Amino acid sequence: MAEKIEFKKIREFGEIIGDTFLFIRQNFKPLMKAFLYLCGIFILGGILTMIMTQLQVGDMQENFRNSYNFSGESVWSRLSKFVIQYLFMMMFMMLSYTSVYVTVLSYVALYIQKGNVAPNVEEVWSYYKYYFFRMFGSGIVISIFLVFCFACCFFPGVYVFPAVSIMSVIMVIENASLGYSFNRSFKLLRNEWWATAGVLIVVSIITYACTLLVQLPATIIAMVSAFTHAEQRITKTYAIVASISQYLSQIFLIIPILAATLIYFNLVERKESTGLLDRIDGLGKGPEQFNSTPEEY
């Protein structure tokens, strides 16, 4: 049996990627259980709102082509309905992404706290409900900041991307504010930018490839529809399959989140050696009993 993953240690490039998938394999069942319980409602809501939005777009395209029932009143009513559905779709998308991040990071925080033992859903929920709204608000701010940096000649966005990737990790693992996490991420990355960026690029490529594989059925349906339904670009089948596959592919977000967590601990150990100091301090001591009652915040 493989040894349990120890987060607080120095890792090289390949070890970070390898241990990311090893952790998923070792914790697959409890991690997936927490994922389904805590993220399922937002994923389901996102699928439904995306299906309705895509079908609404298809209806609007059909009406434009046929000039059917296109009075001034119907134009505004259809547009307002589309805007409302689109806003709901975006809201569920942000909620589902936040939920995935909070679930995985809460799981890892508890895993470390319990001495490399998988937590149950109730324990993850105790952290989840504390961090969710903080992460949701911070995620909006971070996204705006990242878009602004990419808009500034692209290169500023590339430069800050590694730091942005570990900000959420710092917020949960260290129970930190957004401002503290922002400053600490750049301090940890000092003289380690290239190695960190390299790992993130490889992990992003792997995640993207997995996502394309899940979304392949929708792509095939779109190609078939392009040849057999030239006048109807968005069919009901495509809307349903594309929406389901897009949200199911969010499960692969676990890969970059775990990789960013391992990167964070790698940077901390290289600069502060906190894990080594903890192991030295724990020599000759028995493992402490983990408090089964989740801490209330």
List pLDDT tens digits, range 37-91: 999 999 999 999 999 888 888 777 666 666 555 555 566 777 788 888 889 999 9
pLDDT, greater one: 109 or 70: 109
pLDDT for residue 284: 54
Q: Per-residue pLDDT averaged across 187-207, rounded?
A: 94
203 band by pLDDT with thresholds 50, 70 and 90: very high
Residue at 285 is within a domain: no
pLDDT, greater one: 230 or 195: 195
Q: Is the pLDDT of residue 291 over 50?
A: no
Residue at 6 is within a domain: no
Q: Per-residue pLDDT averaged across 98-110, rounded?
A: 97
Residue at 284 is within a domain: no
pLDDT, greater one: 225 or 45: 45
Q: Per-residue pLDDT averaged across 193-213, rounded?
A: 94
Q: Per-residue pLDDT averaged across 85-98, rounded?
A: 93
Mind giving me the DSSP string for the chain? -PPPPPSSS---HHHHHHHHHHHHHHTHHHHHHHHHHHHHHHHHHHHHHHHHHHHHHHHHHHHHHHT-S--HHHHHHHHHHHHHHHHHHHHHHHHHHHHHHHHHHHHHHHHHHTTS----HHHHHHHHHHHHHHHHHHHHHHHHHHHHHHHTTSHHHHHHHHHHHHHHHHHHHTT--HHHHHHHHHHHTTTTHHHHHHHHHHHHHHHHHHHHHHTHHHHHHHHHHHHH-TT-SS-HHHHHHHHHHHHHGGGGGHHHHHHHHHHHHHHHHHHT-HHHHHHHHTTT-PPPPP-SSPPP-
Task: Please provide the average confidence, as pLDDT, over all residues in the chain.
Answer: 86
pLDDT for residue 76: 72
pLDDT for residue 108: 97
Residue at 2 is within a domain: no
Q: Is the pLDDT of residue 223 over 60?
A: yes
Q: Is the pLDDT of residue 101 over 70?
A: yes
Residue at 222 is within a domain: yes
Q: Per-residue pLDDT averaged across 21-33, rounded?
A: 96
Residue at 84 is within a domain: yes
pLDDT, greater one: 10 or 292: 10
pLDDT for residue 232: 56
pLDDT for residue 259: 97
- Structural domain including 26 reads 13-279
pLDDT for residue 83: 86
Q: Is the pLDDT of residue 110 over 90?
A: yes
pLDDT for residue 153: 78
Residue at 237 is within a domain: yes
pLDDT for residue 234: 64
Residue at 287 is within a domain: no
Q: Is the pLDDT of residue 220 over 90?
A: no
Domain count, the chain: 1
In percent, how much of the chain has pLDDT > 90? 64
